Structure 1
Amino acid sequence: MTASAGPAGGETPGELPRAGGHRGSEGLILVVDDDADVTTLVAMNLRFEGFEVVVANEARSGLAAIERHRPDLVLLDVMMPRVDGFELCRQLRASPLTAALPIIMLTAKDLSADRIQGLTAGADDYIVKPFDLSELVARVRSTLRRNREMRDVSPLTGLPGNTRILDAIAERIAARRDHGWEYAVCYIDLDNFKTVNDVYGFYRGDQMLTAAAGALHTSTIGVAGPPPFLGHIGGDDFLVVCTPDQITPITDRAIRLFDQSSRVLYDPDDLARGYFEVLDRQGRLRRHGLLTLSIGVALSTQRRFTDHREVVAAASEMKAVAKRTEGSMVAVDRRRDPEPGRGRSARERAAIEPVAEPDSV
């Protein structure tokens, strides 16, 4: 079912948690090298590029700096007194607290055996002295980007997380501002998901999430036009960024595919009834519907969003509207920005009405 207009009230959450980034800078880099000339030159250039930098001259002080500052990446010299870079790298990889810490090794030896040893010890990259400083900065940025993207992926669904979701929205806002390219943001929520976890357990709940992710993925890759973006906000919430004319084909197909793929995950009695029977805390038998999709949509054709928080808030409002109706529902925000000095009309503030059932795909 599809609906349009605006909600009558309710919360308007507009912020998703963002991963990565250290103190709002490009990142904090720890340079561990016993050559003071190298550390001074590297630190100066990294700071010029917007990074924060901490310096250590040997392994012990390097470990202390990691514990104190929690850097985003370590530039680690191989040839150091007492404990060399290979051994320190192995120690960092062996600790749960630093096992995923990005490490780029620096060495004066341009030998394949040394590169292999460094990578085997767990380094993410390897650069030979003397190095071009612009290349070093590029490698630092590339390694940080890969690390953040890997951390910002749902281990269950394999979909991008909140950092990349917010980046995708920001890119669409900029493209709308600079080129006039319209976009839509669809906020998807699984109705009655908590009931599945309560009745069947978390493993079955994870299977339901995977089924929803699969339905959304198939729907987005199969649609005509520019490739949509699909992300997993967390829990039972997903988000799609697409063009306005892709909304209906994506949401209709996702609803149909999820209904098909989720059927095999219900117990036969629950599927036959079409609802769950659950005892509440007072011992009374309650009915809860099977899983459906509530989808809220924000449109750039209606509103001139300038920030990702505004878009997410509008889509989240419409998701709440969609959840008022039983079954799968798509609620599209048709409100327009009011003219300066003019509030919204009563019609614009009115509650929505369903206008159409999802089409078969």
Structure 2
Amino acid sequence: MADVILVADDDPDILRFVELNLRLEGYEVLTAVDGEEALAVAHHRVPSLVILDVMMPKLDGYQVCQRLRTDGRTSGVCIIMLTAKSMSADKVLGLTAGADDYISKPFDPMELVARVKTTLRRTREMRSVSPLTGLPGNVQIEAEMQRRVADGETFAVLWLDLDNFKAFNDRYGFIRGDSAINYLATVLREATTDDQFIGHIGGDDFVVLTSAEDCETLSQAIVARFDKDVKDLYDPEDATRGTVVVTDRLGRELEYPLLSVSIGAATNEHHPVKDYRELVEVATEMKSFSKKRPGSVYAIDRRGSAEDGA
């Protein structure tokens, strides 16, 4: 099956040029002419790689890149930024926003195709194990879920991420942001047993596979362990106040709560599935419910069980 590549650029000539060259290499190509359309297309059909022009209407390339990285559905996609040749600052900002690579305009089509192939290959190699946490990556996560479904196992999927993580990164920088991600990884290791599976999807997104009967107990343990020492990640004044203050692009000071963890869980106990992605979809939906409530929260899909509600 061909890799799907999304190309977002408001210049119709460049859009057609890139699309043609990628199609000639056997890729399936989706297109968008502005940032909002790029996000909509990526959410409708998650691509393997996204090529983003820096300057686009509605949302610029940096904003699209950041939103793709902070959305569990698209956090693992490869991203290449198109930048003006003379604007080295564009390259720095793009990489800081989460881009995997960049290419300067005007560009040679052979260079573009080579960078696409290299980025996809490098990402596939890295996904087998997370270099940050040492946990299994997307390849192993998918294989484990497929195995459990194929073997007819009854199990639960816990989908997790951090709340207020962008504010933490803005306040303390990406190195301490990585420390926060590793903190959550440590919490998961301490809360789980050997027969439970932990995976690092990417960014601050994680997955845990466990038995249906252990789903709620494990969710409670993760929340309790996370909240116990999360303040240690902060400077004393922020930890005491219970918030961080971040200055936005307009110079406004905005206050955000401390980090918390949101968990969404789903099981195939009452709803047998043929495709693990059905469970992932429900778990993601449950996580969205969790994120609407303050603090560390878990929500479990109970539809079809004796209990009602999440």
- Counterparts of 2:276 and 2:220 in 1: how far apart (Å)? 25
- Counterparts of 2:211 and 2:187 in 1: how far apart (Å)? 19
- Counterparts of 1:250 and 1:257 in 2: how far apart (Å)? 10
Task: Specify the code of the residue in structure 2 equivalent to 1:157.
Answer: T
1:53: which partner in 2? none
The TM-score, its normalising length taken from structure 1, stands at: 0.50
Post-superposition Cα deviations, 1:85-119, rounded to whole Å, max 9, x if no partner, equal xxxxxxxxxxxx7xx99xxxxxxxxxxxxxxxxxx
Which of 140, 147, 151 is the aligned partner of 1:164?
Answer: 140
Post-superposition Cα deviations, 1:25-46, rounded to whole Å, max 9, x if no partner, equal xxxxxxxxxxxxxxxxxxxxxx
- Counterparts of 2:304 and 2:125 in 1: how far apart (Å)? 35
- Match status 1:194 vs 2:162: no
- Counterparts of 1:174 and 1:239 in 2: how far apart (Å)? 19
Q: Which runs of 5+ in 1 are unaligned?
A: 1-10, 20-69, 71-96, 102-147, 338-347, 354-361
Correspondence 1:174-213 to 2 at 5 A? 174-176=150-152, 181-213=153-185
Displacement after TM superposition at 1:335 (Å): 2.2
- Choose 1 or 2 for highest CA Rg: 1
- Counterparts of 1:292 and 1:201 in 2: how far apart (Å)? 18
2:259: which partner in 1? 291
Displacement after TM superposition at 1:188 (Å): 0.4
Correspondence 1:56-75 to 2 at 5 A? none
Q: 1:17 to 1:295 in 2, by over 3 A?
A: closer
SS at match of 1:238: strand
Displacement after TM superposition at 1:151 (Å): 5.2
* RMSD after superposition: 3.4
1:215: which partner in 2? 187
Which of 223, 228, 242 is the aligned partner of 2:196?
Answer: 228
- Counterparts of 2:252 and 2:181 in 1: how far apart (Å)? 28
Task: Specify the code of the residue in structure 2 equivalent to 1:170.
Answer: Q
Task: Specify the code of the residue in structure 2 equivalent to 1:263.
Answer: K
- Match status 1:307 vs 2:279: no
Check whether the contact 2:244–2:255 (CA below 8 A) recurs between aligned residues. Answer: yes
SS at match of 1:302: coil
- Counterparts of 1:13 and 1:319 in 2: how far apart (Å)? 20
Check whether the contact 1:13–1:312 (CA below 8 A) recurs between aligned residues. Answer: no
Task: Specify the code of the residue in structure 2 equivalent to 1:213.
Answer: A
Post-superposition Cα deviations, 1:138-190, rounded to whole Å, max 9, x if no partner, equal xxxxxxxxxx78751111100000111111111121222xxxx3110000011
Task: Specify the code of the residue in structure 1 equivalent to 2:162.
Answer: L
Displacement after TM superposition at 1:305 (Å): 1.6
Q: 1:322 to 1:296 in 2, by over 3 A?
A: same
Q: 1:280 to 1:18 in 2, by over 3 A?
A: closer
- Counterparts of 2:219 and 2:45 in 1: how far apart (Å)? 22
1:341: which partner in 2? none
Higher relative CO (Cα under 8 Å, sequence separation at least 6) belongs to 1
Displacement after TM superposition at 1:317 (Å): 0.9
Count of residues in correspondence between the two structures? 203
Displacement after TM superposition at 1:229 (Å): 0.6
The TM-score, its normalising length taken from structure 2, stands at: 0.58
2:239: which partner in 1? 271
Task: Specify the code of the residue in structure 1 equivalent to 2:224.
Answer: R
Q: Which runs of 5+ in 2 are unaligned?
A: 1-42, 47-72, 78-113
Correspondence 1:136-151 to 2 at 5 A? none
Displacement after TM superposition at 1:295 (Å): 0.3
Check whether the contact 2:227–2:296 (CA below 8 A) recurs between aligned residues. Answer: no
Check whether the contact 1:13–1:316 (CA below 8 A) recurs between aligned residues. Answer: no
